Structure 1
Amino acid sequence: MKSRYLILMAAMGACLLAGCSQWNEDTDLPAGMTLVKQHTPENKVGIAYNEYQLENGLTVVLHEDHSDPLVHVDVTYHVGSAREEPGRSGFAHFFEHMMFQGSQNVEDEQHFELITEAGGSMNGTTNSDRTNYYQTVPANQLEKVLWLEADRMGYLLDAVTQKKFEVQRETVKNERGQRYDNRPYGLRSETVAEALYPQGHPYSWPTIGYTEDLDRVNVNDLKRFFLRWYGPNNAVLTIGGDIDRAQTLAWVEKYFGPIAKGPAVDPAPKEPVQLEQDRYVTLEDNVHLPLLQITLPTVHHRHPDEAPLDVLADILGGGKTSLFYKNLVKTGLTVQAAVGHPCRELACEFQLFALANPQASKNLTQLQEVVSKTLSEFEQRGVNADDLARTKASIKSSTIYGLQSVAGKVSELAANKTFDGEADLVKYDVERYEAVTAEDVMRVYQKYVKDQPAVVLSIVPEGQTQLAVAESNYTPPERPKTEPTKTAGVNWQAPNDDFDRSQIPKIGPAPTISVPEYWKQKMDNGLQISGHYSDETPTILLSLTMEGGPLLESREQAGLASLTARMMEEGTQDSSAETIANQLAKLGSSIHFSASGRYTQVEVSALTENLTPTLNILEEMLFEPAFNEQDLARIKQQRMQSMHQMIKEPTELASRGQSLLLYGKDNRISLPDTGTLDSLASLTVEDVRRFYKQYYSPAKAQLVAVGNLSQQELLSHIDFLSQWQGDDYALPAYQPFPPLDTDKVFVINKPQAAQSLIRLFKPAPPYDATGTQFQLKLMNFPLGGMFNSRLNLKLREDKGWTYGASSRFSGGKTLGQFVAGANIKQAHTTEAIEVFFDEIGQYQQHGMSDEELEMMRRSYLQSQALDYETPSQKAGFLRKLQSYGLDRSVVKKQNQLIKTLPRRALNELAREHLKPESLALLVVGDKAKLEAQLAELEREIQLITVPL
């Protein structure tokens, strides 16, 4: 659940800034619907909405925003894992899966199919306190979405079969394996919760649940959970975007009105906890970097002390201005260190976190001592004016940035109404954080942090418990076990309708989609500029790209571009990194340098009113970097330690192995953007200075600007860039690539891996806007480019072997790839590989069907309503036009191809580019456990070691 003030704020000045209309009184409401509130924010600080209630208790919140032809629909049920019983964990998350598996009038997988072909996006999330389902679709698809959501609210249970139950139970287990059990530090939050909260506390078990609990229950247990908690009187339906209010209300009453009210739901009592003494817990894990987390119990969501505790967390550990950064990161003792105050409905936690640098930290006891000294330093130093100024600037900027999407506003309205009974709390939240004083911060420090008992978690590499802060003195009690309910079934009757609910609603006329207009300019020094005027929020986004990035390095100096970009943020000749971070935070601005793929990038985000001082800082950072030896040594050491940890991740190992097999050991591009341990160790400050001098040049640079300034106004602000000088340069050619060996199964050994990661891949054409590569993406859509793809339906929905399977064609300026893969349950590794080859082979021979072709067309064409909503989306579109020398007419050309490309042409592409014998096969997993399985493939097994 959202808690920090940087996330809590969703929208300020919505009517003024987001172009939403003022509300008029509703006079002709549908029968059975009551107007509860018409809300227009005071002083235009907040989000305008109307609230209604149906006779069955469903709360409906509507927000109009006609700036883009889309709508966002959110259904939030006030039930999460906190409403479960001990021994029956994971039910709420399980139902998140089950509610996508069809209902009385919606077939299996049809929900995904209808939203995908509508060009929309969708998902569901579960946490301890609520479950929500949401869709963003073109505005003409709203009735269909309401029909879908109503059907799974009121007509679900007959469609929940034992077979679906079993498949989704396996899918949930695979999700747990992928996100928790097979992931370094994946059990951190679960372990802390078990130690912090007493047995039976609603937060003492993980949202995803325990595997053994899921194994013990049956489908009827799940149905009873649904009947208890998923009634309309325990839900909030929030709709925002380009809506007709009267028509929307009529649809809501039609589809949701007949659903019967569920059992009454009383508010859950607040349950903050207290500890009598420190609890030390040690967790051995497949990690390289020891981790220390100190967790103290505090209050609950929206308690008066929540805001000052958030401010305290920011002062102690919120980035480069914090004491944790100064004492733990800057000194090189840790790779990362932070402090947070995550808050949930019933209880909050104050978390102090440090990821050790083994080269500088002897053990976690040493880190705990530095943490204690840092707290003492804060107590002596107190709260200064800049601490509070940063907080208040962050509130203002984050609220305005929250206006940039309808989804953000709808999500905020839905969460606030669910947990607090009032949808628009923007003004309240702004005021409560602005009211925080230095005395408040010191008071909560004394009350909740100083000398208070805590859960002290040490995560250490396997077999190295001596690194822990202290010997474990706490073991959670044995988990309770419950047996499945043995009654025969669940009594449930579908609501009575006066219309045929089995009929899918027809959609209205397609909305008019406006491709962003833009202006172009070129400075005398070669810098190319594209700009788009948007007055939806008073913000400016600047994106500067310099072509080359990692491609400009030698293999021996891999990582130099990325390291140089990181050093650009380490202060200037006149200002320290901490001074700059403080200045930016007080402005509510950000400046970030990075280098990956083909580019070095600089991203600038600012409120328009603060653009001038923000650009003054950018000018200093861009033209006067410090490049200090001590900063370089610290960053190199931190990066090298992070690399040791990174190679514990299966996806990282797979990516490195894939690049090595595709491009060979003689090519720079076979290595990660950040380089290797050896290459990074060899880099010097002189290397960084040389790279900066040679390649930070306007000669191959492009700038995109999106915001509420005219062309002339924007150019006057960035005039300093006209003084930027630098020589042109050439990108080096690739060394010859090795032939791709497709007869073997390549294995990267990851001992004790809980899953197997499978990848099939081959070279493919580079990016083009309308040619082969574009058409290959269209062709791949039914195979692996959507949730309802053949690969995902077979491996996830039919077999239950994975959390998700996919395939894709991707390409840059010069290179492209085809990749298919999934994280697979270990016992089914070989079977899954055979499914991949079989499905790809069938598709290669027979291609897509007429139905799949039409679905692809509808999805691609209608999804454009969602493509240009936010400044970052518009900037991304302009960057692509710049990079590939295109203009906005390319969208029309692509649309014409999507509409007219015949199925035979796409299927011919499949025959040419999807030959199973052309695909290399790579598996990341426990070689000892997989060897017998993989031998069944009758391929030579070759163990490979990736460059570290």
Structure 2
Amino acid sequence: MKLNKLVIALTIAGLSACSSTQPVQTPSTTLLETVSAQGDQLVIPYKKYQLANGLTLVVHEDHSDPLVHVDVTYHVGSAREELGKSGFAHFFEHMMFQGSENVADDEHFKIVTEAGGTMNGTTNSDRTNYFETVPVNQLETMLWLEADRMGFLLDAVTQEKFEIQRETVKNERGQRIDNQPYGRLGERVAQALYPEGHPYSWPVIGWMDDLNRVNVNDLKAFFLRWYGPNNATLTVGGDVKAEEVLALVEKYFGSIPAGPEVEPMAKPKVSLDNTRYISMEDNVHLPLVYIAYPTVHLFHEDEAPLDVLMQIIGSGNNSLLYQNLVKSQLAVQAAASHGCSELACQFTLYALPHPAAGKNLADMEAVIRNSLAEFEQRGVTDDDLAKIKAEMLSDAIFGLQSVHGKVAQLANYETLLGNPNYINEQVERYKRVSKEDVMRVYNSYIKGKPSVVMSVVPKGQTQLVAAPDNFTLPKPLEMGPSTTTADDLHVRVAKDDFDRSIRPTPGANPAVAVPEYWQENWANGIEVLGTHNDETPTTSLLLKIRGGNYQQSLDKAGVAGILAAMLTESTQSRSSEQMTRELEKLGSSIRVSAKDEALYVFVNSLSENLPATLALAEEYLFEPAFKQDDFARIQKQRIEGVKNAQKDAGYLASKATRQLMYGNSIAGLPDGGTEQTLASISLDDVKAFYNTWFKPAGGEMILVSSLDKAEVFSAMPKLKAWQGQAPQSAPSIGQAQFEPGVIYLVNKDEAAQSAIRVTKPALPIDITGEFYRTGLMNFPLGGAFNSRINMNLREDKGYTYGAWTGFWGDQYTGTFSASADVRADATQAALAEFYKEISQYAEKGISDEELSFMRLAINQKDALKYETPRAKLGFLAQILEFDLKPSFVKERSAIVDGISQAEINALAAKHLKLDEMLTVVVGDAKALKPELEKLGRKVVEFKL
């Protein structure tokens, strides 16, 4: 398990120990366990039940917010698939949203959205989960929805839906894998690392040849084998009572028949007889070498020490790979990870050589292997162990901040271990790691052991590979068309004593209070807004200082981003590595980033560590060393990042759109600058930007803390004493440089997908005015999953993985944008559908049903707006930036309730004039130009 992505949830009934009851038997359900908070250990309190049909129910009561999170996790992922039938688990994730016996096509999205909720589904190698977070009055409806697709799905799985979702999966693969630099690396490594036929030897999304040859009955058979209640865990958390949840679960899930028995999968040790070298050419800017070692499996006793080893070798700027490759400027990037799944783990290391260093991938491999040897001499320090323990505790406590996080963790532990109460052990096993453990696992799994070495090189540059290929990847199994028929299916039928076609009627929407906050204006011009939040013992702080991308000169675009990066490098007293080490030992984070209008400083800390964390933050901000070597490294990384981004269709579309929309102005350039502007920046330019713009007057600070403001303020003396004022000048935004009606075509050779952007200038942001109303108008057009455009291009036509429209704005400018990444062969047809949908909506406007849907969806979201400290930060930042009163929330609700169909239609006619819009398409220009010309528009090849 990779520590930097580990989400740990616990409940804060005092950071407590647990007690457990004995099982209790009822006629249909067994109460297996009650875990409650006692003492000083970490625990998420819950009750665990098992229904007669084998369904496991876990209920966590959390009364801090009027929300409920429902998660159904099936213990089936790509590892349960058969050779020649890959991708089924992920395919079914899509099919489960396409309606069931009592839920109409695509209605699942509509019901959850109009309830004010969020939802999704995910698939990995080991499990598939579906989840919703909604106001608590919607609990019964969510259980009705999930039960219907568990027990009553198959009759709704038609050949037509099957074909559309097959195209959607292909589009997802195109967008996330085939059209992404290095996108196919992972599946190639898996083919070489695992024996042929191993459950992890094929990708989760599957081989497209497998999906092309199977039929709808194969998919139904897969569902019948794996999606029974006895292979599922239903986890419910939030403002609920366990007994009431149980009654509803027994009603809706109790009659669903169990599926075939499910046995645990074997976890055979993966080993290699020798190091396997493989390579591929790709449409990339920089070559990459990637080394993978097989290790253990998830929750194995050696997983934790391997994670510690991974951090020492290649995580953060104190790691060996960073020091030997990145800081020395031999590589643009280099890192290690230890990814663990239920059956196996991979210890991986990678590097992208810096062009200026003149090194090939063989050189990179040599430095990586020398770094491993260096570890043997270096060993493990006390700081190595201290920082991982601090990180685990910090991650654990921050995991408390959403009911989603807690429920997800309970569900994952129950699914993979059969024990939801693993959170304390998860933290403790990292605390138990010793120096000797780390050295032992290094010797056992890494030192001198064979590995897979993957080289990815730009097309035509095979001379850069680490070594000639000595291993041939096995070809996916070739099979003929499927012959599975409906007669081969063994359908299970549920029998009920109530009518499932009747959708539950939710009670009144729960009242949600706007967070109470305090405000203070400091003498130096910083406005401070804060709120007390004691659900977790944490503090989150956001400091906004005027001096972002808009304040850059055209020829120095990118200087704000370089400054942001340098403000977390070396200080006048300590090196970057020393600063990072101190932060890691606190379990805290400090991030600085450049946005259009400001520099953002974001601080996260356990409240008990806040004084030490803020002392480090003040050292970063007020005592930067501005070392030439730090600057040179960052500058080169940024330039190479821009070059690499030129291979990404989305980046090219954004760059072209900005250039055409805003011309020769700062708004017309990419946020991070261009190769030319970045190369022109000197260290003196960075210092000058800092000295000119990094001033407190006009700054804003937002706090969400378990501490009172006096305690927080006492920990930031330098911030309060800071003085100065930056220049007062508005940026030059520029004017549109495009010809409406023209299609601007940007070339990306052999692109598997095309990026489409249809956009136009629009209003600057406001909170309760016309800009806000345009957002309401846009909602049914492209602002929700089941909007007109997404349903057309994704669900009806299968052209894309997702299509959206929206209005964006800041205080200076705004835009309307419609966007999608579509199948290359569907580019012309997809663009025609964009034009049609935008024109029809502008002409005919919103329907009565859409207006009702929008009102419900927008006004019932309040419960989700203030749940976490991060959400509260965003809400308070909005109040501070626009000088709002808390009543603005009610004003917005009144606008949603009162906006008329006529007003929305007038806004659509005003703001969606197609003949005023810019069209940008990024794809293979040679193939696309003649197709796009069939739309009867002028097509101009646009050079970036």
Q: TM-score, normalised by structure 2?
A: 0.98
Q: Is 2:470 the partner of 1:473?
A: yes
Amino acid at match of 1:810: W
**Match in the other structure for 1:32:** 28
Partner SS for 2:348: strand
**Match in the other structure for 1:464:** 461
Amino acid at match of 2:631: L
Query: CA 1:700 to 1:26, structure 2 compared with 1: closer, same or farther past 3 Å?
Result: farther
**Match in the other structure for 1:148:** 145
User: Contact 1:14/1:44 (CA < 8 Å) preserved in 2?
Assistant: no
1:731 deviation in Å? 2.9
Q: Is 2:766 the partner of 1:768?
A: yes
**Match in the other structure for 1:416:** 413
1:177 deviation in Å? 0.7
Distance in 1 (CA, whole Å) between partners of 2:720 and 2:262 is 64
Q: Is 2:899 the partner of 1:901?
A: yes
Distance in 2 (CA, whole Å) between partners of 1:13 and 1:867 is 21
1:21 deviation in Å? 12
User: Contact 1:21/1:65 (CA < 8 Å) preserved in 2?
Assistant: no
> Mapping of 1:262-273 within 5 angstroms?
262-273=259-270
**Match in the other structure for 1:634:** 633
User: Contact 1:364/1:458 (CA < 8 Å) preserved in 2?
Assistant: yes
Amino acid at match of 1:70: L
Query: CA 1:22 to 1:852, structure 2 compared with 1: closer, same or farther past 3 Å?
Result: farther
Amino acid at match of 1:603: F
Distance in 1 (CA, whole Å) between partners of 2:850 and 2:27 is 41
Deviates more, 1:732-741 or 1:116-125: 732-741
Match of 1:441 among 438, 441, 451: 438
Amino acid at match of 2:718: F
1:917 deviation in Å? 1.2
**Match in the other structure for 1:890:** 888
**Match in the other structure for 2:802:** 804
Match of 2:165 among 168, 192, 201: 168
User: Contact 1:548/1:731 (CA < 8 Å) preserved in 2?
Assistant: no
User: Contact 2:558/2:672 (CA < 8 Å) preserved in 1?
Assistant: yes
Q: Is 2:590 the partner of 1:591?
A: yes
Partner SS for 1:342: strand
User: Contact 2:86/2:211 (CA < 8 Å) preserved in 1?
Assistant: yes
**Match in the other structure for 1:531:** 530
Q: Is 2:936 the partner of 1:938?
A: yes
**Match in the other structure for 1:324:** 321
Match of 1:920 among 912, 918, 921: 918
**Match in the other structure for 1:544:** 543
Q: Is 2:712 the partner of 1:727?
A: no
User: Contact 2:137/2:508 (CA < 8 Å) preserved in 1?
Assistant: yes
* CA-to-aligned-CA distance 1:410-434 (integer Å, 9 cap, x gap): 0000000000010021111111110
Q: Is 2:561 the partner of 1:562?
A: yes
Distance in 1 (CA, whole Å) between partners of 2:11 and 2:435 is 28
1:379 deviation in Å? 0.3
Match of 2:294 among 291, 294, 297: 297
Deviates more, 1:819-828 or 1:485-494: 485-494
Partner SS for 2:689: helix
User: Contact 2:7/2:405 (CA < 8 Å) preserved in 1?
Assistant: no
Q: Is 2:101 the partner of 1:104?
A: yes
User: Contact 2:125/2:200 (CA < 8 Å) preserved in 1?
Assistant: yes
**Match in the other structure for 1:67:** 64
1:894 deviation in Å? 0.2
Deviates more, 1:714-723 or 1:885-894: 714-723
* CA-to-aligned-CA distance 1:298-349 (integer Å, 9 cap, x gap): 0111111111001100111111121111111111111111111101000111
Q: Is 2:424 the partner of 1:427?
A: yes
Match of 1:737 among 732, 735, 738: 735
Distance in 2 (CA, whole Å) between partners of 1:151 and 1:531 is 44
Distance in 2 (CA, whole Å) between partners of 1:277 and 1:779 is 61
**Match in the other structure for 1:669:** 667
Distance in 1 (CA, whole Å) between partners of 2:18 and 2:41 is 12
Match of 1:232 among 229, 234, 251: 229
Q: Is 2:241 the partner of 1:210?
A: no
* CA-to-aligned-CA distance 1:537-564 (integer Å, 9 cap, x gap): 1111110001230111111010111111
Partner SS for 2:637: helix
1:31 deviation in Å? 4.7
Partner SS for 2:866: coil
* CA-to-aligned-CA distance 1:11-61 (integer Å, 9 cap, x gap): 34532269x99999999x975111000012553411111100000000000
Q: Is 2:272 the partner of 1:242?
A: no
Distance in 1 (CA, whole Å) between partners of 2:614 and 2:424 is 29
Amino acid at match of 2:522: M
User: Contact 2:18/2:35 (CA < 8 Å) preserved in 1?
Assistant: no
Amino acid at match of 1:513: V
Partner SS for 1:459: strand
Query: CA 1:722 to 1:864, structure 2 compared with 1: closer, same or farther past 3 Å?
Result: same
* CA-to-aligned-CA distance 1:476-527 (integer Å, 9 cap, x gap): 1222123413434434253111000001100012111011111111111111
Distance in 1 (CA, whole Å) between partners of 2:517 and 2:26 is 44
Match of 2:52 among 26, 51, 55: 55
Partner SS for 2:72: strand
Query: Once superposed, which parts of structure 1, at least 4 consecutive aligned residues long, lie more than 6 Å away?
Result: 20-27
**Match in the other structure for 1:503:** 502
Q: Is 2:877 the partner of 1:856?
A: no
Amino acid at match of 1:719: P
Amino acid at match of 1:318: S
User: Contact 2:361/2:466 (CA < 8 Å) preserved in 1?
Assistant: yes
Partner SS for 1:324: helix
Partner SS for 1:201: coil
Distance in 1 (CA, whole Å) between partners of 2:908 and 2:937 is 25
* CA-to-aligned-CA distance 1:854-900 (integer Å, 9 cap, x gap): 11011111111111111111011111111112122111100010111
* CA-to-aligned-CA distance 1:786-823 (integer Å, 9 cap, x gap): 01000011111111111111100111111111001211
Distance in 2 (CA, whole Å) between partners of 1:21 and 1:878 is 36
Query: CA 1:65 to 1:807, structure 2 compared with 1: closer, same or farther past 3 Å?
Result: same
Partner SS for 1:192: helix
1:932 deviation in Å? 1.7
Q: Which runs of 5+ in 1 are unaligned?
A: none
**Match in the other structure for 1:605:** 604
Distance in 2 (CA, whole Å) between partners of 1:6 and 1:821 is 32
Q: Is 2:380 the partner of 1:355?
A: no
Distance in 1 (CA, whole Å) between partners of 2:353 and 2:144 is 51
1:361 deviation in Å? 4.1
Deviates more, 1:644-653 or 1:881-890: 881-890
**Match in the other structure for 1:618:** 617
Amino acid at match of 2:770: T
Q: Which runs of 5+ in 2 are unaligned?
A: none
Amino acid at match of 2:185: R
Q: Is 2:119 the partner of 1:122?
A: yes
Distance in 2 (CA, whole Å) between partners of 1:491 and 1:36 is 31
* CA-to-aligned-CA distance 1:274-321 (integer Å, 9 cap, x gap): 000000011110001111110000011111111100110011111112
**Match in the other structure for 1:515:** 514
> Mapping of 1:669-748 within 5 angstroms?
669-734=667-732, 736-738=734-736, 740-748=738-746
**Match in the other structure for 1:660:** 659
Distance in 1 (CA, whole Å) between partners of 2:376 and 2:21 is 53
Q: TM-score, normalised by structure 1?
A: 0.98
Query: CA 1:24 to 1:281, structure 2 compared with 1: closer, same or farther past 3 Å?
Result: closer
Amino acid at match of 1:487: T
User: Contact 2:845/2:905 (CA < 8 Å) preserved in 1?
Assistant: yes
Distance in 2 (CA, whole Å) between partners of 1:548 and 1:812 is 15
Partner SS for 1:238: strand
Distance in 1 (CA, whole Å) between partners of 2:881 and 2:943 is 35
Distance in 1 (CA, whole Å) between partners of 2:331 and 2:35 is 48
Distance in 1 (CA, whole Å) between partners of 2:731 and 2:579 is 38
Deviates more, 1:494-503 or 1:880-889: 880-889
User: Contact 1:334/1:361 (CA < 8 Å) preserved in 2?
Assistant: no
Distance in 2 (CA, whole Å) between partners of 1:753 and 1:69 is 46
